Every structure is written in structure tokens, then in C-alpha cells.
């Protein structure tokens, strides 16, 4: 297949060395069906080995290669270059997160917030000897939310979080939904104590950026609305 010439601008930043992030341009020729990750690999392996970015599974499962490309949060490994017109790419780290180096951001706060909503089954009842039965209808309630790969694209695209970093953010709240609406779980009150708060559920203003950013097309805002109803019912 004939190669195409592209221009790629990438945010570079080493906090110990640079005063602020800056753009660096790369000109290269690539296969037209390359993904964004293929392009970053091409740069890293053949042009500039100092470029830092995360990658692992290359299958849209590990969630490590989320980044902003031409203004949109995407997973680099599953996003083909031809989705963007003009053979010009601008690649940035996920917004709203501290940059460690170039496209690598600090995810510690993201995972701390996830831990706060207790992302595991909480049980009052004994664990059954065999399978923990769940009907197809009960599973249907949570199956979409289970698909979350914790890439951070939703949380990083949320204006409520940009305005207040104490906000739990959509990914942590979605995880709370995933367990609160799990028919086997008994931890609803504990989790609502954490999320029924001005820096929790109620800071979601239904802006829908998270849903647009989610590479797994999870209906995050819809589930957060169901959580709000649940929180109100429990208060009454
Ligand atoms: S909800 Fe979607 S965008 Fe948010 S962390 Fe999960 S997979 Fe990523």
C-alpha cells in the first residue's frame, strides 16, 4: 500500500527540565491504515526515542493509551489515522491530569478516587457454595458499566472536574453505579455515604462530555442520573 506523508505535532514536556509544555513537529510517511499508536511507535522507534507515551495491550482493553488527538480524547491503539482529515495530527496528553513526561500523565488521583467508592462486592449474606446467581435481567443493569477499562478519557474530559479537582469524576461514579446496581451487592449505603456529596454525584451537571469521550461507548451520564434517583430515594 502506498505510504502517505503526515505531519504530527506532539506535546513534549519534562517537568524537571522544561518551563512549560511545548509542541514538537514530526514529518513522516506511514501506511494510511496506521493507528495513532502505530504512528507514535514509528516516531519513538525510528525518529525520536525520547518521546514518552503509555501502551500495553494494543487491543483497547488495558486503557493505558488514552490521549487527546485533534481535540478529542481517544484510545491511540484503536483509533485509525484516517478518522482525522488532512493528514495533520495534534497529539496531547489527557487534559486535567498532571503530566509526568510528554503524553504520560499521573493517574494516582484517578485511582485514589476509584478506591473511595469501594470497587468490589460488599456482602452481608454468606457467599453461596456454588455460583452466585444473577438473572439475565439483573446482569443487564450493569453489563454496560462493567465494560469500563479505566482509561480516564471520561474523567479527563469533564468540565466539572477541570473546575474542581476534588470532584470524584465520572469514572469513579460509574464504578459506584456498577456495584450499587449489582443485584448481589449489599454495600449501597456505604457507597452512597461517599458519593452523595457536593464533590460527588451532585457535581455532575449532565454535560455529556464523558459519554462522547468514552471509547467503550458507555452511557455514563444515564447511569449517573439513575444513581441520583437512587440517592434521593435513600435520603427519603
Ligand atoms: S467509562 Fe469509558 S472513558 Fe471512562 S474510564 Fe471507563 S472506559 Fe474510559
217 and 113 in a common domain: yes
User: Atom of ligand 1 at shortest distance to CA of 153?
Assistant: 3
pLDDT of res. 171: 98
Please give the model's pTM, rounded to 2 decimal places.
Answer: 0.94
pLDDT of res. 126: 92
Structurally, the chain folds into a number of domains equal to 2
How would you write the pLDDT of the chain (236 residues) with one tens digit per residue?
Answer: 799 999 999 999 999 999 999 999 999 999 999 999 999 999 999 999 999 999 999 999 999 999 999 999 999 999 999 999 889 999 999 999 999 999 999 999 999 999 999 999 999 999 899 988 999 999 999 999 999 999 999 999 999 999 999 999 999 999 999 999 999 999 999 999 999 989 999 999 999 999 999 999 999 999 999 999 999 998 87
Of the candidates 79, 105, 131, which is a domain's last residue?
A: 105
Output the CA torsion sign for 63, 68, 72, 78: negative
118: containing domain:
108-235
89 and 49 in a common domain: yes
188 and 120 in a common domain: yes
- Give the DSSP per-residue string, 30-75: E-TT-BHHHHHHHHHHHT-TT-------SSSSS-TTEEEETTEEEE
Task: Give the binding-site residues of ligand 1, using a 6 Å CB cut-off.
Answer: 148-154, 171, 174, 213-216, 218, 220
Of the candidates 81, 105, 129, which is a domain's last residue?
A: 105
- CA–centroid distance, residue 150 to ligand 1 (Å): 5
Residue 220 in contact with residue 207, Cβ under 8 Å?
no
198 and 148 in a common domain: yes
147 and 68 in a common domain: no
- CA–centroid distance, residue 23 to ligand 1 (Å): 27
Q: Could you tell me which residues are beta bridge partners of residue 23?
A: 11
Amino acid at each position: 500500500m502506498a505510504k502517505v506523508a503526515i505531519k504530527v505535532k506532539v506535546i513534549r514536556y519534562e517537568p524537571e527540565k522544561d518551563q512549560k509544555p511545548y509542541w514538537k513537529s514530526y514529518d513522516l510517511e506511514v501506511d494510511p491504515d496506521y493507528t495513532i499508536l502505530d504512528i507514535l511507535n514509528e516516531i519513538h522507534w525510528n525518529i525520536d526515542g525520547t518521546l514518552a507515551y503509555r501502551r500495553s495491550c494494543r487491543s483497547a482493553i488495558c486503557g493505558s493509551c488514552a490521549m487527546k488527538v485533534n481535540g478529542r480524547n481517544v484510545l491511540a491503539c484503536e483509533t485509525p489515522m484516517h478518522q482525522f482529515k488532512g493528514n495533520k495530527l495534534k497529539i496531547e496528553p489527557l487534559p486535567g491530569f498532571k503530566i509526568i513526561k510528554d503524553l504520560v500523565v499521573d493517574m494516582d488521583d484517578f485511582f485514589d478516587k476509584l478506591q473511595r467508592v469501594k470497587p468490589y462486592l460488599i456482602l452481608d449474606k454468606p457467599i453461596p457454595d456454588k455460583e452466585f446467581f444473577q438473572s439475565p435481567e439483573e446482569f443487564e443493569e450493569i453489563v454496560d458499566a462493567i465494560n469500563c477499562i479505566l482509561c480516564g478519557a471520561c474523567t479527563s474530559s469533564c468540565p466539572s472536574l477541570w473546575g474542581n479537582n476534588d470532584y470524584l469524576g465520572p469514572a469513579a461514579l460509574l464504578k459506584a453505579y456498577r456495584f450499587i446496581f449489582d443485584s448481589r451487592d449489599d454495600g449501597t449505603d456505604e457507597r452512597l455515604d461517599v458519593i452523595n456529596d457536593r464533590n460527588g454525584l451532585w457535581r455532575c451537571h449532565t454535560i455529556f462530555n464523558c459519554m462522547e469521550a468514552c471509547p467503550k461507548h458507555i452511557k455514563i451520564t444515564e447511569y449517573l442520573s439513575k444513581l441520583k434517583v437512587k440517592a434521593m430515594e435513600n435520603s427519603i
